[in-house]
Amino acid sequence: MQLTEKHKQYWQKNLRLTGILLAIWFVATFVIGWFARDLQSITILGFPFPFYMGAQGSLIIYVVIIWYYAHSMNKLDREYGVHEGDD
């Protein structure tokens, strides 16, 4: 089995997408968590911002990250002809 240039490109694209989404995940979790006390004065829907993120905002971001990954990878599979048969 020899990987073609196209296959390598597919994997590069996958790595880039994974990297970007992980960076968003990291910011939503750890950067906001680290600065939680400094962001306390911002209010959203009645919540202090860090509390809102910890209880709801970051969770929504996680759900969206996973949805977006599944959506774009399933599309990328087809583009690069590495998708599975339909069943």
Partner 1 sequence: MATQTQSQFNASLKKYYSFYTGGFIAFIIIVAILEQMGVPNKILGYIFLAATVLLYAGIGVMSRTADVSEYYVAGRRVPALFNGMATGADWMSAASFIGMAGTLYLSGYDGLAFVLGWTGGYCLVALLLAPYLRKFGQFTIPDFLGARYGGNIPRSIGVFAAIMCSFTYVIAQIYGVGLITSRFTGLEFGIGVFVGLGGILVCSFLGGMRAVTWTQVAQYIILIIAYLIPVIWLSVKHTGIPVPQLAYGYVLEKVTAREQVLNDPATPEGAREAEVRAIFKQRQEASEAKLKALETGGATYLAEEKGKLVQAAADLKAKPNADPKAIEAADKAVTDFPADAAAAKAAWKKAADGAKAKAGPIASHAEPFAGKDDEARNKKRKNFLALVLCLMVGTAALPHILMRYYTTPSVREARKSVFWSLFFIFLLYFTAPALAVLAKFDVYTLLVGSNFADLPAWVNAWATVDKTLMSITDMNKDGIVQLAEITIGGDLIVLATPEIAGLPYVITGLVAAGGLAAALSTADGLLLTIANALSHDVYYKMIDPHAPTTRRLSISKGLLLVVAVFAAYITSLKPGDILFLVGAAFSLAASAFFPALALGVFWKRANKMGAILGMAGGLGTCMYYMYMTYPFFGVNAPLWWDINPISGGIFGMSVGFTGVIVGSLLTAAPEKSIQELVDHVRYPNLEGDIKTEAA
* Interface residue list for partner 1 (CB under 8 A): 1, 3, 7, 10-11, 14, 18, 21-22, 25, 28-30, 33-34, 36-37, 40, 44-48, 50-52, 54-56, 58-60, 62-63, 65-67, 69-70, 73-74, 77, 82-85, 87
Q: Closest distance between partner 1 and the C-beta of residue 32, in Å?
A: 10
> Least distance in Å: CB of 5 to partner 1?
14
Strands 43-44 and 47-48: antiparallel
Q: How far apart are CA 60 and CA 62, in angstroms?
A: 5
Residue type, 10: Y
Report whether 14 contacts 70 (CB < 8 A). Answer: no
